[in-house]
Amino acid sequence: MKRNIVVLMIFAFLFATAKSYAQNADSLKIKEMEKRIEKLEKKQQQSEFQKILSEAAAASEEKKVEKKTKVFKSGQRSLQAINPEMSFTGEGYGQYSSNESETGTSGFYFRKLGLHIAGGLDPFSFMKAAVEFSPEGVELGEAYITWTKFIPAVSLTAGKFRQQFGVVNRWHVHAADQFDYPLALTTILGEDGLNQIGVSFDWLMPAITASANELTLQITNGQNEQLFAGSTFSFPSVLAHFKNYYDINRNTYLELGLTGVYGSNRVATSVGDDFRGRTILGGADLTLSWEPVNQSLYHSFVWRSELYYANKEISATDRIKALGGYSYFEYRFNEWWQAGFRFDYTQPFIQNNSDKEIRQFVPYITWQQSHWVRLRLQYNYLDGNVFEKATGTVRLQMVFAVGPHKHDRY
């Protein structure tokens, strides 16, 4: 009996071992199969992904241009693309005057057609020129070359240019905020202001007294008819302008400038000798400008004033001394409309003028059709003790620019 039990136990043990062995083998097989499936799946995914990637790459490629028979052309005679920038400005107006002997007949006029050319000359310099066509003929407004860095921080301009006497004298009249230059400018500096041939050194100084300081020194022919010797000039005139520019905040700036000019005039004396008299000019300018940076298309305000003073020796004992100035403000209401008012005061440019004066009141409104076309309605009320009667003039002015015309004003 005992023996039977032992045999039974051995048999049971062997059976259990065999079963466990078989189970282990199955489990290994399953695991192996699982691994193989996983591997296959990975492989399939990889190839699926590779396919996606290659399809993506194909989709990202642009369509190839079909190869076709070409006609070959030469561009050697078609280099107009490197012509300088050219643009035209035009100005016309209609006027009604209460005193035509002072202002000219009431009617329509075309004042100027300006051809403006600008472009780089080489890596070191650029040029600008303005040729003005008017009913009186053709005139060279400006033509100059500028070396952008003559010496560190200093540029050199040579040619004919509107000079840096204050602010407005530098501008072409079509770019001015009113129809005309201020009366003091045309009375003291001459009909067209200071615009002579010579050289100009412009130094962007280290900002000492303001956010920016600039010193301009201009040596030009003394060829202004009224102030210097006109076409008989022999001595140069020298102009210095010192600019102080202050950023008050991100919308507002203030600019103060001082100008001085020294030159020689040449006037024939009664005995036939040449008298070489001196001409001294002085000027001061002030600009306060407000323009919200995020609404600059719609609103702005500017207040600008200048003083002009001239002292011209016309003989050993005689002098013409004249003082004048203007002040104007202008407000932009929206992208179309801006309006302003200018007050002019000047002494006439004659001898013994201490008790003489001319005043002008100039309200105006400007409609800006676009950046390139504008219309302006302006009234000039001219009065003073040098006139027999006051003159009122209404003008409707149109100004246009075609081409890449830009202004450097700020």
The tokens for 318 are: 């005689």
39 binds other proteins, rule: CB under 8 A: no
410 binds other proteins, rule: CB under 8 A: yes
HSE-up of 111 (CA within 13 Å, CB side)?
A: 19
> 161 vs 309, which CB is nearer to other proteins?
161
The tokens for 261 are: 């000019």
> 133 vs 147, which CB is nearer to other proteins?
147
Show Cβ contacts of residue 27 under 8 Å, excluding neighbours closer than 6 positions: none
Q: Contact at 8 Å (CB) between 316 and 175?
A: no
CB 279, min distance to other proteins, A: 29
CB 202, min distance to other proteins, A: 8
| Nearest-angstrom CA–CA distance, 334 and 222 | 44
406 binds other proteins, rule: CB under 8 A: yes
What is the pattern of x (binds other proteins, CB under 8 A) and - over residues 63-102?
----------------------------------------
Among 23, 46, 295, 385, binds other proteins (CB under 8 A): 295
CB 208, min distance to other proteins, A: 11
Identify residues 141-160 at the interface with other proteins (CB under 8 A).
146, 148-149, 152-155
What does the DSSP assignment read for 205-243? E--SSSSEEEEEEEEEE---TTTS-GGG--SEEEEEEEE
209 binds other proteins, rule: CB under 8 A: no
> 62 vs 66, which CB is nearer to other proteins?
62
- Short-list 180, 185, 176, CA closest to 308: 185
207 binds other proteins, rule: CB under 8 A: yes
What does the DSSP assignment read for 55-118? HHHHHHSPPPPPP--------TT--GGGSPEEEEEEEEEEEEES-HHHH--SEEEEEEEEEEEE
CB 88, min distance to other proteins, A: 12
The tokens for 257 are: 């400038």
Residue 12 corresponds to which amino acid? A
250 binds other proteins, rule: CB under 8 A: yes
| Nearest-angstrom CA–CA distance, 270 and 139 | 34
Identify residues 338-377 at the interface with other proteins (CB under 8 A).
370-372
28 binds other proteins, rule: CB under 8 A: no
- Short-list 373, 410, 297, CA closest to 88: 373
122 binds other proteins, rule: CB under 8 A: no
38 binds other proteins, rule: CB under 8 A: no
> 255 vs 313, which CB is nearer to other proteins?
255
Q: Contact at 8 Å (CB) between 237 and 222?
A: yes
Q: Contact at 8 Å (CB) between 329 and 178?
A: no
Among 45, 315, 352, 385, binds other proteins (CB under 8 A): 45
The tokens for 100 are: 């035509």
The tokens for 16 are: 């259990």
247 binds other proteins, rule: CB under 8 A: yes
Q: Rule CB under 8 A: which residues touch other proteins?
A: 45, 48-49, 52-53, 55-57, 59-62, 123-124, 126, 146, 148-149, 152-155, 202, 204, 207, 211-212, 214, 243, 245, 247, 250, 253, 255, 291, 293-298, 334-336, 370-372, 402, 406, 408-410
